[in-house]
């Protein structure tokens, strides 16, 4: 949810009854602090923050979280051992994002309160095992005792119900909220997300860090380099810096890196985030009553 | 289900209340005829056959189906236009296997009675779009009016419930039945399937025909060739002939091609097929009552 999930989106989701998350991955320390403060000022409901642990500003972000008394932290892309104890000793709930049972167990051992298990179909950074949500959730449920939040391929009430059927205790939706009014993503990117069809995204950069991207010109360049056996250094050079900002925040649909999940194939409208939360919940209840009669 | 689903497995599944399918892909015409006859002699319940349309014996198999009055045919890997009208004019129900909404629409236009929509996590041959079951089923449901049977990542009652939550009218399970007593697969392969963990299979041979394989020595050879940019001819030569028979039927776990779905990570026992059908159904009902209270 880099370049998408600032205080406006997080507050709108929390106000509607979801747990809004501020995505700190794209934020410098002072920007992150501002977003946390504005979110606190905008809602009395609980909200959380997501911290990718391998990003440069993690230490400063953790300090902000402690100072501002943010109650819930989702960590990802790194070792949950490093910060969990410190956060938990301040009374903060810690949830770690994983892509396999092995990493889920490590998060549990590190003292995390819950995990997000994210399948292959999810947008952005992803695991090397390529396990889909349909298989990952039951596998992770067999492995850990802490609550499991399902992610990857979940953007509708029916998909939310499917995740609960698989044993999840909650769902995390990202892509659907990129195409919301409150997302800070560029309008050109939001419209691109609506146009995305089945097969229009692909897990890319598997040798570096796997990431699901829309197949635009930038993707084609990277993909061609991978296919001809380019070195890691060549790939890094091609990637350059600021590609995701260029695409998702500045709206360059050609040269930018565009991260979104497969589920974007199902969306056809940019909606207010609160409406997405309420519609999803109603569709969840409707889907539940649709399957109630089966086998009776 | 090549080398796995002969008359013994199909009859056992049908006897237990499922719809057993004879997989004809590995069978010469006279072998296929024998399997159909033995299946008819072993159960009074309906059963079907699966015909990969691009395989060499398709015409002969279609003749057998008509002569033996098989009532239900699942076609895959080819154009549904070619045989559907002929089969349907003989009163046969035709179901076509697809991996995208585009192909689902083509199957509907060809007059198919239903489709199987098979996600990226499925074993064996697969689509190029890499759409997972979690996203594929809702997408296909939006596109066609004929019934949708979900496949890919479904091997337990909870996964079956998830598929129904996504809008499917039925499920097709393959991998779970490879690890059944009645499957004609080699015991070494069945045991290998039980040992398979998350990340142990991968969609391979994407330039030729994508196929999900267990990462054994044969896979490593093919994968390395792909990574260094080998030509299609080199890959075809590496593949050679009879690799799947060698692996799944003759039990060569090193040199053979081993097709199985990601869901195999969840299995720990070879069971009688009838028990699998009954256990899955019971687990489906249990999972349904587990989610009934959510949101009430």
Interchain contact, A198 vs B229, CB within 8 Å: no
B212-242: per-residue pLDDT in tens? 999 999 999 999 998 887 888 988 888 888 9
Q: Do A291 and B129 touch (CB under 8 A)?
A: no
What are B7's strand-pairing partners? none
Question: What pLDDT is attached to residue B241?
Answer: 80
CATH number for the domain spanning B151: value is 3.20.20.70
Residue B227 has a pLDDT of 81
- Asked whether residue A232 falls in the same domain as residue A129, the answer is no
- Reply yes or no on whether the pLDDT at A65 is more than 90: yes
Assigned domain for A152 exists: yes
| Cβ(B55)–Cβ(B29) below 8 Å | no
Residues A10 and A32 sit within 8 Å (Cβ to Cβ): no
- Which of A130, A198, A291 is nearest residue B131 as measured by Cβ atoms? A198
Ramachandran angles phi, psi of A200, nearest 5°: -85, -10
Nearest by CB: A262 against B135, B166, B198: B135
Q: Is residue B1, in this structure, part of any structural domain at all?
A: no
- Choose among B101, B165, B227: nearest Cβ to A158: B165
Residues A96, A138 share a domain = yes
- Distance between CA atoms of residues B196 and B222, nearest Å: 19
Contact (Cβ atoms closer than 8 angstroms) between residue A142 and residue A150: no
Partners of B142 on chain A (C-beta within 8 Å) are 266
Binary contact (A102, B198; C-beta < 8 A): yes
In this predicted structure, what is the pLDDT of residue A1? 87
Tell me if A72 is assigned to some domain.
Answer: yes
Domain contains A295: no
**pLDDT one digit per residue (tens) for chain B, 296 residues:** 899 999 999 999 999 999 999 999 999 999 999 999 999 999 999 999 999 998 889 999 999 999 999 999 999 988 999 999 999 999 999 999 999 999 999 999 999 999 999 999 999 999 999 999 999 999 999 999 999 999 999 999 999 999 999 999 999 999 999 999 999 999 999 999 999 999 999 999 888 889 999 999 999 999 999 888 788 898 888 888 899 999 999 999 999 999 999 999 999 999 999 999 999 999 999 999 999 999 88
Pair (A180, A243) in one structural domain: no
Distance, CA of A113 to CA of A239 (rounded, Å): 35
Q: Are strands B20-23 and B114-118 parallel, antiparallel or unpaired?
A: unpaired
Chain A residues in contact with B101 (beta carbon < 8 A): 198
pLDDT confidence tier of residue A11, bands split at 50, 70 and 90: very high
SS3 sequence of B81-133: CCCHHHHHHCCCEEEEEECCHHHHHHHHHCCCCEEEEECCCCCEECCCCCCCH
| Pair B120, B217 in one domain | no
Chain A residues in contact with B17 by the CB 8 A cut-off are: none
User: Within 10 Å of residue B196's Cβ, how many Cβ atoms?
Assistant: 22
Cβ separation A156–B138 shorter than 8 A:
yes
In a domain, B2, yes or no: no
Q: Are residues B273 and B159 in the same domain?
A: yes
Q: Is the same domain home to A177 and A39? A: yes
H or E stretch covering B170 = strand B170-172
Same domain, A240 and A277: no
For residue A217, the SS3 value is helix
Q: Which residue is closest to A164 within chain B, CA to CA?
A: B291
**Which chain B positions have a beta carbon within 8 Å of A294's beta carbon?**
164, 288
**Using CA atoms, how far apart are residues B251 and A78, in angstroms rounded to an integer?**
40
> Rounded to a whole number, what is the distance in Å from the CA of B287 to chain A's nearest CA?
6
B contacts of A198 (beta carbons < 8 Å): 100-102, 129, 131, 135-136, 139
Q: Identify the pLDDT of residue B107.
A: 98
Cα–Cα distance measured from residue B217 to residue A226, given in angstroms and rounded to the nearest whole number: 23
A119/B132 CB distance under 8 A: yes
Of the partner residues A164, A198, A294, the one whose CB lies closest to the CB of residue B164: A294
State the Cα–Cα distance between residues B169 and B192, nearest whole angstrom.
31
* Residue A111 confidence (pLDDT): 98
Average pLDDT in the A93-106 region?
98
Q: Is residue A296 part of a domain?
A: no
Pair (A102, A33) in one structural domain: yes
Domain range enclosing B129 = 7-185+265-291
In a domain, A117, yes or no: yes
Pick the residue from chain A with its C-alpha nearest to B215.
A129
Q: Inspect the interface and report whether the beta carbons of A131 and B262 lie closer than 8 Å.
A: yes
Per the CB < 8 A criterion, the answer to whether A147 and A112 are in contact is no
CA atoms within 13 A on the CB side of B207: 15
Look at B119 and A132 and tell me if their CB atoms are within 8 Å.
Answer: yes
CB contacts, 8 Å: B136 with chain A: 198
The interaxial angle of helices A133-143 and A101-109, nearest 10 deg, is 40
Residue with token string 């923050």: A49
Pairs across A and B, CB distance < 8 A:
161
* Same domain assignment for residues B145 and B113: yes
Answer positive or negative: Cα dihedral of A281, A283, A288, A289. Answer: positive
pLDDT at A256: 97
Q: Are B283 and B222 in contact (CB under 8 A)?
A: no
CA distance B286 to chain A (A): 10
B115: nearest Cα among B86, B153, B143, B89: B143
Helix (H) or strand (E) run with residue B49 in it: strand B47-52
* pLDDT tens sequence across A212-231: 999 999 999 999 998 887 88
Per the structure, how many domains does chain B have? 2
Helix (H, G, I), strand (E, B) or coil at B45: coil
User: Is residue A169 domain-shared with residue A226, that is, in the same domain?
Assistant: no
Average pLDDT of the residues of chain B:
96
B177/B197 same-domain check = no
Contacts of B147 in chain A (CB under 8 A): none
Q: Is residue A1 part of a domain?
A: no
Query: Given an 8 Å threshold on Cβ–Cβ distance, is A165 in contact with B165?
Result: yes
Please check whether residues B141 and B158 belong to one and the same domain. yes
């Amino acid at each position: 949810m880099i370049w998408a999930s600032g205080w406006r989106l997080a507050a709108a989701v929390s106000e509607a009854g979801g747990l809004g998350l501020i995505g700190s991955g794209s934020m410098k320390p002072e920007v992150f602090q501002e977003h946390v403060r504005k979110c606190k000022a905008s809602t009395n409901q609980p909200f959380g923050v997501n911290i990718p642990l391998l990003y440069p500003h993690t230490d400063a972000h953790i300090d902000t979280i402690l100072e501002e008394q943010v109650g819930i932290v989702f960590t990802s892309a790194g070792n949950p051992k490093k910060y969990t104890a410190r956060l938990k000793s301040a009374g903060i709930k810690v949830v770690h994002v994983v892509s396999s049972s092995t990493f889920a167990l490590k998060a549990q051992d590190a003292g995390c309160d819950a995990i997000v298990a994210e399948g292959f179909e999810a947008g952005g950074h992803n695991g090397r095992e390529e396990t889909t949500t349909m298989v990952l959730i039951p596998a992770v449920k067999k492995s850990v005792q802490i609550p499991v939040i399902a992610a990857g391929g979940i953007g509708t009430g029916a998909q939310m119900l499917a995740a609960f059927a698989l044993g999840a205790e909650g769902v995390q939706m990202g892509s659907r909220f990129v195409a919301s009014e409150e997302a800070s993503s560029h309008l050109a990117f939001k419209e691109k997300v609506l146009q995305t069809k089945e097969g229009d995204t692909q897990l890319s950069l598997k040798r570096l860090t796997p990431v699901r991207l829309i197949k635009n010109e930038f993707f084609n360049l990277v993909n061609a380099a991978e296919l001809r056996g380019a070195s890691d250094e060549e790939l890094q050079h091609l990637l350059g810096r600021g590609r995701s900002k260029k695409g998702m925040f500045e709206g360059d649909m050609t040269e930018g890196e565009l991260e979104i999940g497969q589920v974007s194939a199902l969306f056809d409208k940019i909606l207010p985030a609160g409406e997405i939360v309420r519609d999803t919940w109603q569709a969840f209840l409707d889907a539940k009553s649709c399957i109630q009669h089966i086998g009776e």
